[in-house]
């Protein structure tokens, strides 16, 4: 369940627990700009990039209605057919700090509850007894527990435990979703990897090649789909403030020509792609803590037009010229080339920072990265970096990365893996189950004890060591 700057989606997935492959059952999509207006007395706590005002109550209702509709269309019942819900948001514009995203996540949770989702379907199981009977043969909860990494990658956290970028969860889900979606392809998208999610805002991460758990060594942030949206808004074909490329382009595929390449270069000169300066508190609308990122060794790579989108209006002016002089075909081709060039520049910065090698797999998801002829152009652009001998064996494109990542997170939170077709570990490597068990046993001497009993013993040990007063005992 995701509420983004442009779209709100409830995507139902079905996973074959033997192979780990996930299929999309239903995708119900609403435009976030259509959320109801704030009512008197409601507090406006955030806005989308387009300026749509959001309240906790309006988000709850949007989530509730979208979730109910997706089940109705699919012919499924929330109470009975649904096994787990994972929620995320891409709406980070106008937030002052990364931790404020927590308010939005709470609104998402409340919307799910109002739709009839039981709380137990949004939290990890504590023991084998909390796993539904039909899944007990697939869980490894008595051998390993969920300790944070999704698809074997540690999330980056600052010294206060706060996410260093506000859309970190999106990057986490997108990375896991690309790992899952790649199972339908010939590309082994495991660690080390680089993920790019070209939604309205940009997210993604770069991982190391450590095992059993890789570290997040790079994060992407800024704007992505907002760039083609701004270009299209200059055409007069969509609303000047809330229109999107989706409203006009759809799945249009047009070959590049001389004019589209010239316009793409002109647009590219207005786009900044760089390592985020340490002093920045926002980059491309996304709240972040660049100093904390530097302290823990995570490189932030951003994409922006001006400062926090301040020069997006210049893209609209170019979009007007393209439409008036060349028409929609050239406009569509230009958008594809612009996205491909941005992808190349993002990877280029990662290369310059020493975060990417020929061992690194690259995955792309999101509307501004996989629609039209963008995949073809992205492979061509990244191929020009001479990183790979065979780019098509190392670059993968996946639809609905966030939704697929949600299904992966649900399985991770309930210790449900597929050892014969693993998502964790390194490219070309085997399942890391034994490594994880050894790692957890080394870190926690109680790792072999069933989780519920282990919690009791951990608390007892904490008390016995004198960490609490006699009265507290």
The pLDDT tens digits of the residues spanning 345-397 come to 999 999 999 999 999 999 999 999 999 999 999 999 999 999 999 999 999 99
Residue 67: inside a domain: yes
Distance CA 81, CA 341 (A): 43
pLDDT of residue 470: 42
Q: Read out DSSP for 247-296? A: GTTTT------HHHHHHHHHHHTTEEEEEPPTT-SEETTEEB-HHHHHHT
Residue 273: inside a domain: yes
What is the SS3 assignment for 327?
Answer: coil
Name which residue leads in pLDDT, 407 or 354.
Answer: 354
Last-in-domain residue among 358, 393, 412: 412
Q: b/e string for 327-341 if b means 16 or more Cβ within 10 A?
A: ebebbbbbbbbbbbb
- The answer to whether the CB of 431 falls within 8 A of the CB of 420 is yes
Residue 453: inside a domain: no
Q: Is the pLDDT of residue 93 over 80?
A: no
Confidence of residue 469 (pLDDT cuts 50, 70, 90): very low
Name which residue leads in pLDDT, 252 or 236.
Answer: 236
Q: Which two tokens stand for residue 434?
A: 């034994």
What is the SS3 assignment for 464?
Answer: helix
Distance from the Cα of residue 79 to its chain's centroid: 27
Distance from the Cα of residue 391 to its chain's centroid: 23
Q: Which two tokens stand for residue 334?
A: 């230009």
Please check whether residues 76 and 220 belong to one and the same domain: no
Lowest mean pLDDT of 38-47, 289-298, 422-431, 455-464, name the range.
455-464
* Sign of the dihedral defined by the CA atoms of residues 256, 197, 362, 21, in that order: negative
Residue 133: inside a domain: no
pLDDT of residue 96: 59
Distance CA 72, CA 75 (A): 5
Using left for φ > 0, alpha for ψ between -120 and 50, and beta otherwise, residue 247 falls in alpha
| Tens-digit pLDDT profile for residues 100-145 | 567 788 899 999 999 999 998 998 888 898 898 999 999 998 888 8
Mean pLDDT of 314-329: 96
Confidence of residue 92 (pLDDT cuts 50, 70, 90): low
- The answer to whether the CB of 208 falls within 8 A of the CB of 217 is yes
Distance CA 34, CA 37 (A): 9
Please check whether residues 89 and 190 belong to one and the same domain: no
Please check whether residues 179 and 68 belong to one and the same domain: no
Distance CA 62, CA 309 (A): 27
Please check whether residues 254 and 390 belong to one and the same domain: yes
Q: Is the pLDDT of residue 99 over 90?
A: no
pLDDT of residue 251: 66
Residue 415's CB is within 10 A of a number of other CB atoms, namely 21
Mean pLDDT estimate for the chain? 89
Distance CA 256, CA 245 (A): 18
Please check whether residues 103 and 29 belong to one and the same domain: yes
Please check whether residues 393 and 258 belong to one and the same domain: yes
* Sign of the dihedral defined by the CA atoms of residues 131, 137, 138, 142, in that order: positive
pLDDT of residue 472: 43
Could you tell me which residues come within 8 angstroms of residue 438 by beta carbon, excluding any fewer than 6 positions away?
Answer: none
Q: Is the pLDDT of residue 420 over 90?
A: no
Q: Which two tokens stand for residue 265?
A: 């270069």
Please check whether residues 181 and 329 belong to one and the same domain: yes
Please check whether residues 340 and 238 belong to one and the same domain: yes
Using left for φ > 0, alpha for ψ between -120 and 50, and beta otherwise, residue 224 falls in alpha
pLDDT of residue 88: 83
pLDDT of residue 326: 95
Q: What percent of the chain has pLDDT over 70?
A: 90
Residue 241: inside a domain: yes
Please check whether residues 283 and 389 belong to one and the same domain: yes
Which residue, among 254, 252, 249, 197, has the nearest Cα to 223 in the 3D structure? 197
Please check whether residues 113 and 180 belong to one and the same domain: no
Residue 293: inside a domain: yes
Which residue, among 422, 425, 426, 401, has the nearest Cα to 411 in the 3D structure? 422
Please check whether residues 291 and 383 belong to one and the same domain: yes
Could you tell me which residues come within 8 angstroms of residue 35 by beta carbon, excluding any fewer than 6 positions away?
Answer: 8, 52, 54, 58, 59, 62
Q: Is the pLDDT of residue 176 over 90?
A: yes
Q: Is the pLDDT of residue 97 over 60?
A: no
Specify the number of domains making up the chain.
2
Residue 132: inside a domain: no
Residue 441: inside a domain: no
Mean pLDDT of 187-206: 96
Residue range of the domain that includes 179: 174-412
């Amino acid at each position: 369940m995701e509420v983004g700057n442009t779209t709100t989606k409830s995507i139902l997935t079905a996973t074959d627990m033997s192979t780990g492959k996930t299929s999309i059952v239903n995708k119900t999509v609403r435009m976030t700009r259509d959320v109801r207006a704030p009512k008197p007395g409601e507090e406006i706590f955030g806005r989308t990039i387009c300026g749509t005002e959001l309240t906790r109550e309006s988000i709850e209702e949007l989530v509730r209605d979208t979730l109910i509709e997706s089940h109705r269309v699919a012919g499924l019942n929330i109470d009975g057919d649904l096994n787990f819900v994972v929620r995320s948001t891409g709406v980070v514009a106008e937030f002052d700090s990364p931790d404020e995203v927590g308010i939005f996540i709470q609104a998402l949770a409340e919307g799910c509850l109002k739709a009839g989702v039981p709380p137990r379907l949004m939290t990890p199981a504590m023991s084998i007894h909390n796993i539904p009977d039909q899944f007990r043969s697939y869980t490894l909860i008595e051998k390993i527990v969920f300790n944070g990494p999704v698809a074997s990658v540690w999330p980056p956290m600052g010294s206060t435990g706060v996410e260093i970028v506000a859309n970190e969860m999106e990057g986490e889900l997108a990375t896991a979703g690309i790992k899952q979606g790649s199972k339908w392809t010939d590309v082994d998208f495991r660690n080390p990897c680089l993920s790019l999610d070209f939604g309205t805002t940009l997210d993604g991460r770069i991982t190391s090649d450590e095992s059993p758990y890789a570290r997040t060594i790079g994060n992407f942030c800024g704007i992505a789909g907002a760039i083609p949206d701004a270009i299209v808004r200059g055409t007069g074909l969509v609303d000047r403030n809330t229109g999107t490329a989706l409203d006009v382009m759809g799945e249009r595929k047009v070959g590049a020509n001389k004019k589209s390449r010239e316009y793409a270069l002109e647009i590219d000169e207005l786009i900044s792609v760089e390592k985020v300066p340490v002093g920045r508190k926002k980059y491309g609308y996304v709240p972040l803590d660049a100093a904390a990122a530097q302290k823990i060794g995570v490189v932030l790579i951003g994409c922006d037009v001006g400062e926090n989108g301040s020069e997006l209006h210049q893209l609209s002016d170019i979009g007007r010229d393209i439409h008036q002089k060349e028409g929609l075909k050239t406009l569509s081709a230009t958008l594809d080339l612009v996205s491909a060039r941005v992808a190349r520049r993002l990877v280029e910065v990662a290369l310059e920072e020493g975060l990417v090698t020929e061992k690194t797999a690259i995955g792309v998801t999101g509307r501004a990265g996989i629609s039209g002829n963008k995949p073809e152009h992205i492979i061509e652009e990244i191929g020009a970096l001479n990183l790979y001998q065979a780019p098509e064996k190392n670059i993968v494109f996946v639809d609905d990365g966030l939704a697929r990542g949600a299904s992966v997170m649900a399985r991770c939170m309930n210790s449900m893996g597929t050892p014969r077709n693993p998502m964790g570990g390194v490219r070309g490597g085997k399942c890391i189950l034994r490594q994880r068990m050894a790692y957890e046993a080394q870190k926690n001497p109680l790792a072999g004890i069933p989780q519920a009993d282990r919690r009791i013993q951990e608390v007892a040990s904490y008390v016995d060591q004198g960490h609490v007063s006699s009265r507290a005992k």
